[in-house]
Amino acid sequence: MLNFTDVTEFVLLGLTSRKELQVLLFIVFLLVYIVTMVGNIGMMILIKVSPQLSSPMYFFLSHLSFIDVWFSSNVTPKMLENLLSKTKTISYAGCLVQCFFFIALVHVEIFILSVMAFDRYMAIGKPLLYGSKMSRVVCIRLISFPYVYGFLTSLAATLWTYGLYFCGKTEINHFYCADPPLIKMACAGTFVKEYTMLFLAGINFTYSLIVVIISYLFILIAILRMRSAEGRRKAFSTCGSHLTAVGIFYGTLIFMYLRRPTEESVEQGKMVAVFYTTVIPMLNPMIYSLRNKDVKEAMDKVISRKFLRK
């Protein structure tokens, strides 16, 4: 029996073994990765340089873009490398690091989405108190919690991954080091890891989702009390982008992590994982910009200033 620390490397089986598809997938995911980087980094720069995007909503959105950059960068470069490589390996240390950052960034993102829901409630439900209640100090405290809690949770989860034992088999049926295929591959030490994964995922996803649901219940009540049709339309428009992002992200993660690891669930999980590791980070800037008048106007002003200078 091999202890995890005795394993020098793992083989990532990836999405497919067909070489002609691997080249096509490399091109597709490279383009997706480039669009993701440009979109999220562009969003962060736009929020930084635009005075009209100085509200707490955009402060939190800039952090969501920051996390999406790292979320995608934690998985995609290695996946691209293995699509063109013959060996398709990852060192055991690299696997642990990838697990650590993946779990940390997932938890940071779900709680940032919860903070953004609370912020929407304060803006729509208590507009007169919004400026004083959501001060810069309060925003920094709210955004600090996801980072601290996410990385501490990930540290504990990664230590339990370190306790897995392997009996010679080192092929991971995935394109990155994910908990479900690692648990399925291990031959001992899986009980604690499996049930702590389900417990942590269940508790954290449920708690963060409850915050989102309660916030939007109060938002709905506030909107129904509005007498202005224009006010209602603007409120629904503001919340629509965030609800779309929440629905997509939570839906895919629940499908992946709130089921016991089996051959079938691991195989299905690979397809779902493509969506939330590559597609969602690419979509978020589009979701928040295409449906947001302030972002569009800020983008137009930045582009206009650049061309006027020339």
Q: What pLDDT is recorded for position 306?
A: 67
Q: How does pLDDT run across 164-203, given as a tens digit for each residue?
A: 877 777 888 888 988 888 888 887 777 888 888 888 888 9
Crossing angle for the helix pair 19-49 and 293-309, to the nearest 10 degrees: 80
Asked if residues 37 and 92 have their Cβ atoms less than 8 Å apart, the reply is no
* Integer angstrom CA distances of residue 297 from 42, 66, 290, 300: 15, 22, 11, 5
The Cβ of residue 15 has, within 10 Å, a number of other Cβ atoms equal to 19
Q: For residue 9, give the H/E element and its range.
A: strand 9-12
Torsion, Cα 138 141 145 148, to 10 degrees, reads 170
CA 116 – CA 124 distance, rounded (Å) = 12
Q: What is the DSSP letter of 15?
A: S
SS3 of residue 226 by DSSP: coil
Q: How does pLDDT run across 201-249, given as a tens digit for each residue?
A: 889 888 998 999 999 999 988 888 887 777 787 777 778 778 888 888 8
* Integer angstrom CA distances of residue 86 from 19, 21, 172, 181: 10, 14, 15, 21
* Tokens describing residue 60: 């939190």
Using a pLDDT cut of 90, give the percent of the chain over it. Answer: 35
* Tokens describing residue 108: 């940071």
Provide CB contacts within 8 A for 6, sequence distance 6+: none
Single-letter amino acid code for the residue at 85: S
CA 306 – CA 62 distance, rounded (Å) = 22
Single-letter amino acid code for the residue at 278: T
Q: What pLDDT is recorded for position 259?
A: 61
Tell me the DSSP string of 146-165.
Answer: HHHHHHHHHHHHHHHHHT-E
Q: How does pLDDT run across 82-102, given as a tens digit for each residue?
A: 888 888 889 888 999 999 999
Asked if residues 107 and 203 have their Cβ atoms less than 8 Å apart, the reply is no
Asked if residues 175 and 15 have their Cβ atoms less than 8 Å apart, the reply is yes
pLDDT band at 265 (very low <50, low <70, confident <90, very high): low
SS3 of residue 166 by DSSP: strand
* Tokens describing residue 304: 């206009």
Torsion, Cα 91 94 95 97, to 10 degrees, reads 160
Q: What pLDDT is recorded for position 33?
A: 95
State the Cα angle at 90 between 85 and 94, rounded to 5°: 140
Half-sphere exposure of 289 (CA within 13 A, CB side): 19
The Cβ of residue 198 has, within 10 Å, a number of other Cβ atoms equal to 16
CA 10 – CA 150 distance, rounded (Å) = 26
